Amino acid sequence: MEHRKIPELEDFVNEDTDSTSFSIDEIIDFAQTNCQLVNEDRLLLASEEAIGYIQEFSYLYHKNRFEAKTIKDLFDGSIDTEDLSHQPCVRFIIFIILVELDIEDNADFEELKENLDYCPSDYKDHAVYYYYRSRIYNRGYTSEDYRISLKMATQAIQTDHNITDFDVTFVDSVAQYFSTSSKEVVEIEGTSKKKDELFEQAKSLALQAVESSPENHKYRSSYASLLELDGDLDEAQKQISKALRLSDQQDDPDSGLSHYMQLRRIQTQQKSLRHIKSQFDTFEKEIQTLENRATKLRGELDEYRNQTIRIMGFFAALIAIVVSSAQVIQTTATVGEAAQLVLVLTGGLIVAFTSLGAIFSNEPEWKKLVLVGIVGLFLIAVALAAPILYA
């Protein structure tokens, strides 16, 4: 975490410190120095400076394998040292160091929860306590644990201290809660918060954190987790890849391993999505092929139906012509009149059945039928014109 330098605290976070100086007495000294600065109004406990120095100090002790159990022994009275019972500020800072050490050591959730008992009661309504309690419950097992984490993170960011780590913890809480819960609404302090609203707020805070501290790989990892959950896998991969490079450059192998596992998970999801998309595209092509086949079959059925109608029409016309011609011959006085009536009848039947066939035919077919219909009209015209020509 980037913050302004405070000379009185700089010596405590010097990387060149002799490993033999890492002791419980120095932890107390560091806590007392912080509290003195707070009392002199030179340092705000809920500030990026205070939290930044505590985290740097704790990480230095973690790297030098200082055991968190030593601090628990201090709180339990197993270590002979000065009485801290009347120094709640000092106890609170030592409590924070204890939590930081256990988090760095990947202590389990139950052990981390037990650490909350060491927080002085005077500070259990403090924004920094909300922040650390949120981080602890974010390592829980159930949706209810993550809901509590989200509740604590929300309370922390509502204190208006504008601490980036508070914002990122809220981002982590949103991502963790909705990765295990299908609920669209979550109850926080008696207020219903919609998933979409929380996501938009978290994405805004995460982006601000990354932009304000582009070299902070943990901020990028948190942003990537939220993007991954929101389905933006390409941007998530971009952010976690940068986080992995930064953690390598900053010699943070523990975080680097975590980032690598996160990157592999995102890449696996991308591969699965590509496979699903490929299958979907294949399925769409198969559907299109089936639709084309169905269209072709419908066309063939229509053609078969039209041919059937035309054949039936032809035979019906043929029968009608034969029957009608026989009747006409019997009723007419002369052969000419009979021929004339037969031609009219034949032409009329051709026109009638041709029209019926045209109705049920597609465009190329009905054009042919029109030609046949013209032949029928020609026969009628010949029959009607014959008497005039012979007159």
Q: Domain ranges for the chain, please list them.
A: 7-266, 292-390
User: Rounded to the nearest 5 degrees, what angle is found at the Cα of 209, between the Cα atoms of 68 and 98?
Assistant: 10
C-alpha pair distances (Å), 16 with each of 19, 124, 389: 9, 35, 130
- 210 Cα distance to chain centroid: 20
**Residue 284: which pLDDT band, with cuts at 50, 70 and 90?**
confident
**Residue 301: which pLDDT band, with cuts at 50, 70 and 90?**
confident
Q: At what angle do helices 48-63 and 24-39 cross, to 10 degrees?
A: 170
Q: Summarize the confidence of residues 338-346 as an average pLDDT.
A: 70
Read off the tokens for 63. Answer: 């790297």
C-alpha pair distances (Å), 344 with each of 8, 326, 379, 385: 123, 14, 7, 11
Q: At what angle do helices 127-137 and 143-157 cross, to 10 degrees?
A: 160
Return the top range by mean pLDDT from 9-18, 226-235, 299-308, 380-389: 226-235
Q: What local confidence, expressed as pLDDT, does residue 374 receive?
A: 77
> Which of 115, 68, 69 lies closest to 92, judged by CA?
115
**Residue 333: which pLDDT band, with cuts at 50, 70 and 90?**
low
Q: Considering the entire predicted model, what is its pTM?
A: 0.71
Q: Summarize the confidence of residues 159-174 as an average pLDDT.
A: 89
Based on DSSP, count helices (H) and strands (E) in the chain, helices before strands. Answer: 15, 2
- Asked if 72 and 98 touch (Cβ cutoff 8 Å), the reply is yes
- Asked if 129 and 123 touch (Cβ cutoff 8 Å), the reply is yes
Q: What local confidence, expressed as pLDDT, does residue 158 receive?
A: 87
Cβ-in-10-Å burial (0-12, 13-18, 19+) of 58 comes to buried
Q: Is the CATH number of domain 7-266 3.40.50.720?
A: no
Q: Summarize the confidence of residues 247-265 as an average pLDDT.
A: 89
Q: State the Cα–Cα distance between residues 391 and 381, nearest whole angstrom.
A: 16
Read off the tokens for 196. Answer: 């979409």
Cβ-in-10-Å burial (0-12, 13-18, 19+) of 128 comes to buried
Above 90 in pLDDT, residue 329? no
Read off the tokens for 274. Answer: 């590509």
Q: What local confidence, expressed as pLDDT, does residue 241 receive?
A: 95
> Which of 180, 262, 253 lies closest to 227, judged by CA?
262
Q: State the Cα–Cα distance between residues 305 and 308, nearest whole angstrom.
A: 5
Burial profile 137-171: b = 16 or more Cβ within 10 angstroms, e = fewer: bbbbeebebbbbbbbbbbbbbeeebebbbbbbbbb
Coil, helix or strand at residue 55: helix
